[in-house]
A and B are shown apart, each in its own frame.
Chain A
């Protein structure tokens, strides 16, 4: 077991983890943050995307020990004071989610995307979200939501 310290959604956590523990299972099973789902085993689908030190990462691809000392944001921490984050709000307005399983990853990836590219073109949005798969929406309304959020 290894001891790590991480800040998740503003709260500091010190924990013992198995060296092979993936970050996503640390979040889900040790911290009880089940908002981040797992959709594949090859880092392909992006459902598990979270922000680590402000950058979007696939939490199934990192070991928990690699996040030691880092600041992590997950879907649970995005809304503040009962107000949806502008990206969440834009997803709602644009009907950019159906089953909702890819949504936490898609929303976190969008937050990361807009940090780096505040005014992306449609082509950039499509290219930058390439690592996040959705099987329900055909991405039409996801792209619309990202544009809407960028305009806020």
Chain B
């Protein structure tokens, strides 16, 4: 069932159909749940039903006697198993408060869903049955789930060892902000609330830990984005030497940041497999996922703009309150920092003043969710720029053009350097595609006719930083690891090529796009290239997949590795053809002696390098190369999105009518894959704008505890998205590529809300709380009219 019909030629830039599809389309998949190992036992986690409670005792007596049960452990029972607690890799200030975080709580439960005991039984059903028999004596305590209430004096403490719920305060300031504000002809002050979101990768998490008791080795299969980071961190948590720990990410069904973490269940499965000498498996249920897997956003934002009379922005001031949840997961505190540099958006201004306070709450921890900090930043600046446009009486497109950064490289107000971009070009193209002037005319007609359904047009012109990340910059930001990635190319003697990469895809199409890079550079057939990933035993070097980094870091590493293959091939060719390397010319993976038909291809060189019969003196046999690439700068995609909505002024219902995205994402390797990334990102951003919202009640119960009451948009809620591009290749890397995985999510939420507010502007509406569900839109309308709230 060969599915790649593209055969020869140049692959980079072509809409090659994906190599990975055939397996996924025929059910020949290796999700963790599909893996079975002889003798496997199942794990079930007993979770606190209370947001905050003292654990007086855990009585496992009845559970231990239940059918098929091997063992039951409380948090206290396992304390000796841990060499360290679950890690936070981003202690973003020197005085950050980092609470202990053990895989099972033993003194107190600190959010609804906090694990307090674990059951091991012969089957999934028996483990689940027995978990219900574990009798935990909880003493419920007052809980606080709202970030502002948690930050207030006298709030119930999430961690008794700290005097309040503050976790850290992180600041960044540049320029004479106070002066710019005092001199400003116009100022805008806005306040937004980023609701809490649940990532909802369609595959829930799952783990299978397979021990080898005699050798002490252990293999962990996990539905994770980060097998390499897991191996290092779980070695530290469990005390298993890193060299004896193998982590495999088999087929992984989506992540969106939610599988970029080191989770309690991964650590538990490892220590219980070690303790019992049996393979231990745990598959998360969806409702469990809503409690036990990280959430996203949950930030209160205050943003102020200083501007001239005509609307030229001079300074921005930002104050954030960011909910951490009950514990610090892998990068919880750093998420707002990923947005901290971007609150000036795509605009040229002089003064920048940013402060973020992280606050503990009795909730599931927050962490990276698609975009991670950058959707929040883009939302705030794009909404505020629209508010400024209203205040100075300018069209939203006009005010953006007035303020755009237009020369690159550009040092932005927060101090980083954008390597390339084309904000004007993207906006012009987007407005042309959507038919902006005609839409404004239609809007005017509806307004003058006082139509029940008003038309709204929303813009979002964004820039974001991704491609995480230069290791030295990460160090300056107090992230404890590096941001490099690695790739290895092995040219096998019979002509096929194995490519081993350190990034770990879960839907992004690396098996195809990374093969395109190699096939293109080495002049070989795409089907001759196999991409291997997601297993620390076969791909020992890597930093995994998140932050739109795989192509911009890992893909560039691969490009350099293929260059090394070409260099070695050239040396072999020069030697065997008895010419100077300067006499050789490269075309389609073949070195030819200029002016002759004598040549050597990469595939031929691979055989020669394998036999070793006739290599230059001192050359190592074998044709393989590894390259580790540390990017010198972030990746800076940008673009312009336009959303057109109809809003029913009676019901508050928002209907999407058009969505146009023009993105600048550097050189494109596979337009099919890039469009797919943009589509999915837009859908998630629209989900935040209109539908999704995790809600806790006053007692700290997650009210939106399942897919029944948390609205993941279906095809019926969404529309066709129109995508196009402008191109400003990145000068940072030789391929000119940028990241694209998060752009859609970053750009789309403000485009939608700007459209909703635009539709209702004649009614005096200036804000609609996220998500703009009918109730929130209706209330905003009533409030603007001075009616019931």
Contacts and interface: CB of A to CB of B under 8 A. Distances in A.
A134 interface: yes
Nearest to B123: A29
B24 A103 contact: yes
A134 B712 CA distance: 9
A90 to B, nearest CB: 10
Interface in B8-53: 17-18, 20-29, 31, 33-34
A130 B26 CA distance: 22
A126 B507 contact: no
A127 B506 CA distance: 28
Contact of B708 (A44, A83, A98, A107): A44
Given A76-B27, A78-B26, A135-B200, A100 B679 contact: no
A143 to B, nearest CB: 6
Interface in A110-152: 122, 125-127, 129-143
Interface in A40-67: 40-42, 44-45, 47
Interface residues of B, number: 56
28 contacts: A28-B34, A35-B26, A37-B31, A39-B202, A39-B286, A41-B286, A42-B708, A91-B21, A95-B17, A98-B254, A98-B508, A98-B509, A98-B676, A99-B203, A100-B25, A100-B251, A101-B253, A101-B254, A103-B25, A126-B716, A129-B714, A129-B715, A133-B714, A135-B201, A135-B712, A136-B202, A137-B680, A138-B681
Contacts of A132: 714-715
Contacts of B684: 135, 138
Contacts of B27: 33-36, 74-76, 104
A29 B166 CA distance: 48
A82 interface: yes
Interface string B219-245: 000000000000000000000000000
Nearest to B254: A99
B388 interface: no
B682 A130 contact: no
A65 B26 CA distance: 26
B34 A34 contact: yes
A142 B33 CA distance: 25
A97 B25 CA distance: 8
Contact of B706 (A40, A78, A138): A40
Contacts of B256: 135
A135 B258 CA distance: 13
Given A135-B256, A138-B718, A95 B29 contact: no
A143 B720 CA distance: 9
Interface string B307-330: 000000000000000000000000
Contacts of B286: 39-42, 44-45
B287 interface: yes
Contacts of A138: 679-684, 718, 721, 744
Contacts of B254: 98-99, 101, 135-136
A141 to B, nearest CB: 6
A72 B18 CA distance: 29
Contact of A122 (B17, B18, B673, B720): B720
A102 interface: yes
Given A42-B706, A129-B715, A95 B673 contact: yes
B214 interface: no
Interface of A: 20, 28, 33-42, 44-45, 47, 74-76, 78-79, 82-84, 88, 91-93, 95, 97-104, 107, 122, 125-127, 129-143
Contacts of A135: 200-202, 254, 256, 680, 683-684, 712
Nearest to B31: A37
A132 B285 CA distance: 17
Pick from B18, B23, B251, B679 the residue with the most CB of A within 10 Å: B679
Given A35-B27, A76-B26, A84-B25, A99 B676 contact: no
Contacts of A76: 26-28
Contacts of A20: 125
Contact of B33 (A34, A78, A102, A143): A34
A34 B251 CA distance: 13
A95 to B, nearest CB: 5
A149 to B, nearest CB: 12
Contacts of B419: none
B668 to A, nearest CB: 14
A136 B253 CA distance: 9
A128 to B, nearest CB: 9
Given A28-B33, A102-B253, 16 more contacts: A39-B204, A40-B286, A40-B707, A42-B287, A78-B26, A88-B25, A92-B3, A98-B507, A99-B202, A99-B253, A100-B25, A101-B31, A126-B714, A137-B676, A138-B683, A141-B675
Contact of B672 (A37, A95, A100, A139): A95
Pick from B200, B204, B715 the residue with the most CB of A within 10 Å: B715
B331 interface: no
A45 B712 CA distance: 9
A95 B706 contact: no
Interface of B: 1, 3, 17-18, 20-29, 31, 33-34, 125, 200-204, 251-254, 256, 285-287, 506-509, 672-673, 675-676, 679-684, 706-708, 712, 714-716, 718, 720-721, 744
Contacts of B203: 37, 39, 99, 101
Pick from A95, A100, A133 the residue with the most CB of B within 10 Å: A100
B444 to A, nearest CB: 28
Contact of A79 (B1, B287, B682): B1
B511 to A, nearest CB: 12
A126 B720 CA distance: 10
A45 B201 CA distance: 11
B26 A45 contact: no
Pick from A40, A99, A137 the residue with the most CB of B within 10 Å: A99
Nearest 10 interchain pairs by C-beta: A35-B27, A101-B253, A100-B24, A99-B507, A138-B683, A44-B707, A98-B507, A138-B679, A40-B286, A75-B27
Contact of A93 (B17, B707, B712): B17
B313 to A, nearest CB: 32
A141 B681 CA distance: 13
Contact of A127 (B18, B24, B676, B716): B716
Contacts of A126: 714-716, 718
A140 B721 contact: yes
A106 to B, nearest CB: 10
A100 B17 contact: no
A100 to B, nearest CB: 3
B503 to A, nearest CB: 15
B707 to A, nearest CB: 4
A139 B708 CA distance: 20
Given A34-B29, A37-B33, A88-B25, A139 B17 contact: no
B26 A88 contact: yes
A98 B672 CA distance: 11
A99 B506 contact: yes
B250 to A, nearest CB: 12
A110 to B, nearest CB: 11
